[in-house]
Chains A and B, each alone.
Chain A
């Protein structure tokens, strides 16, 4: 059809292509459906308000009145969808997910609703008049075939009676039709513009909203991963680990029952016992990497102290935490960041001692791991620092690394969270 973007764009850039396109018809449909929406919305609003106010004394009214902002928001949704008739550009919702009453968008939608109640009937009347004004002359040559001339106007009767005059009127009607096409398109464009201004998020705001949405979806993903890890840990703990422990106990008993047995058999049983124990230990190490039980049970303090214990480099642990526990996703991001830092310093730094500090403030938590090693750590070289930073970023935190050559390494992870 060749007319893209906003409705004005077509009118201004390619005015000659407007009348034969579908745009005028879609514009008319837009105006007419606006009238229908206005009637339904006004009726609904009046019913809600009336019934709501009357039934306030019997409490029913309160929830009814509470529906009003939703009713306004629903109108916004319908209108944004209806906008597509004349304006193909995306029409993002301006709502930000806060309570409706506290959002300006809701109030703008309500205001727009009232405006539509005024404009809708005007549009309908104007469309009707235009139809008659255009349709009459256009159909003049066929008028006389209608059973019983419906018009009482004598000059009109004269026109329709004479074929030459009637065809002349028809041509004039065609000109009127084209004019009407422009008029209707312009009116629809104006009202669509109004709707866009009042009911959609501005483009830069839209980008911002999309970024917020991306952030949220990233956080949701990180959360989903965490939940999955916890589920896996529980499954392994309840299932495989218990079975292995049972097996080890049984083999231990077998070992005891065989004191006088064939030394070869005894040796085999002992080997089975040892191998089962090693398997269990490997499984436990694996589970710890997935999601350590101690993190759920004892929080970050317990889990990080335990991780520091396991580090081959002596680590001084300082816990300066006294506030509410952060959400689980934050805890696990910090825990794995701490583990990664400890692994790195044990593997690469050549440090002789290290310090792990955890400090919190309301809604904020900082983990700092520093060592006296060689420094020079960077984010490349497979140190896992990138993955660590990604994981922390997914919960809205930041990682900073200070590692001058020969000056030790300090890794600081900071997360601000809201519960």
Chain B
């Protein structure tokens, strides 16, 4: 698939290109700031854009703003945002943008875990969601004293965390080495205990869980 990379650090851009090409993807553009990113996306309409949050000129959240714009202007282009640190609101802002499909929020450090990174890119490009496990851990920890969460069994908490990361039922089943039916049962229990509306699609499920965790 076609990928646009936006990061102001040349070294990282080249590293990302290398990894993506190693897995047979095509890097159609590799840019260093937000305006060029928007232009490149307009021109190439890639399957996915991998975007660093912090970019020139302001070195604040230009990358995130650009990602949100891509979401509304080109709903078919998936966006994977890379961030230096955990900022819970980023993930939610992304999930709430556009259709909410095909977004990801990863910590930059995660890029070194090649399989995880490639898995996130492909998942996002296919319309799924990818939220960094670290973000999910933070959310769970900040709400650890919450009544609803306290009712969950340890296994249900594991399932909840993987769900929040955007993993599909089958991926969760694989990760926990259980059957998909067992996962389905856990998911049902979790939604019941947290008083959440069961949702039909994965990204809505992620949004619901993250919203719940954000409190």
Please list the residues of chain A having a beta carbon within 8 angstroms of any beta carbon in chain B. Answer: 234, 237-238, 242-243, 245-246, 248-253, 255-256, 273, 276-277, 280-281, 284, 288, 292-294, 296-298, 302, 305-306, 308-309, 314-315, 353
| A-side interface mostly | helix
CB distance from B68 to the nearest CB of A (A): 15
Given A253-B22, A314-B145, residue A293 in contact with residue B112 (CB < 8 A): no
B26 at the interface (CB under 8 A from A): no
Closest A residue, CB atoms, query B117 = A252
The reply to whether A238 and B9 contact each other, CB–CB distance below 8 Å, is yes
CB distance from B204 to the nearest CB of A (A): 25
B109: A residues at CB distance < 8 A? 245, 248, 277, 280-281, 284
A280: B residues at CB distance < 8 A? 109, 112
One of B11, B61, B114 near A297 (C-beta < 8 A): B61
A249: B residues at CB distance < 8 A? 12, 15-16, 18-19, 111-112, 114
B142 at the interface (CB under 8 A from A): yes
CB distance from A312 to the nearest CB of B (A): 9
B16: A residues at CB distance < 8 A? 249
Please list the residues of chain B having a beta carbon within 8 angstroms of any beta carbon in chain A. Answer: 9, 11-12, 14-16, 18-19, 22, 53-54, 59-61, 84-89, 108-109, 111-115, 138, 141-142, 144-145
9 chain-A/chain-B pairs, Cβ below 8 angstroms: A245-B108, A248-B109, A251-B112, A252-B19, A256-B115, A293-B84, A294-B85, A296-B60, A297-B54
| B-side interface mostly | helix
CB distance from A310 to the nearest CB of B (A): 8
The reply to whether A245 and B60 contact each other, CB–CB distance below 8 Å, is no
The reply to whether A302 and B87 contact each other, CB–CB distance below 8 Å, is yes
The reply to whether B84 and A237 contact each other, CB–CB distance below 8 Å, is yes
B14: A residues at CB distance < 8 A? 246
B19: A residues at CB distance < 8 A? 249, 252-253
Given A249-B19, A302-B89, residue A243 in contact with residue B112 (CB < 8 A): no
B141: A residues at CB distance < 8 A? 309, 314
Given A248-B112, A298-B87, residue A242 in contact with residue B12 (CB < 8 A): yes
B111: A residues at CB distance < 8 A? 245, 248-249
The reply to whether B87 and A242 contact each other, CB–CB distance below 8 Å, is no
The reply to whether A246 and B86 contact each other, CB–CB distance below 8 Å, is no
Closest B residue, CB atoms, query A296 = B60
B108: A residues at CB distance < 8 A? 245
Contacts A248-B109, A251-B112, A309-B138 known; list 14 others, CB within 8 Å: A245-B11, A245-B112, A249-B12, A249-B111, A253-B22, A256-B22, A276-B112, A280-B112, A292-B85, A296-B59, A297-B61, A309-B88, A314-B141, A315-B142
The 7 closest A-B pairs by CB, nearest first: A248-B112, A249-B15, A252-B114, A242-B9, A246-B11, A297-B60, A252-B112
CB distance from B72 to the nearest CB of A (A): 22
A238: B residues at CB distance < 8 A? 9
Q: Bound complex: CA of A78 vs CA of B73, how far in Å?
A: 67
The reply to whether B144 and A314 contact each other, CB–CB distance below 8 Å, is yes
CB distance from B94 to the nearest CB of A (A): 15
Given A243-B11, A249-B19, A294-B87, residue A277 in contact with residue B145 (CB < 8 A): no
Given A246-B11, A294-B87, A314-B142, residue A255 in contact with residue B61 (CB < 8 A): no
A309: B residues at CB distance < 8 A? 86, 88, 138, 141-142
The reply to whether B86 and A306 contact each other, CB–CB distance below 8 Å, is yes
CB distance from B99 to the nearest CB of A (A): 26
Given A249-B112, A281-B109, A314-B142, residue A306 in contact with residue B85 (CB < 8 A): yes
B84: A residues at CB distance < 8 A? 237, 284, 293
One of B89, B114, B142, B144 near A255 (C-beta < 8 A): B114
A256: B residues at CB distance < 8 A? 22, 114-115
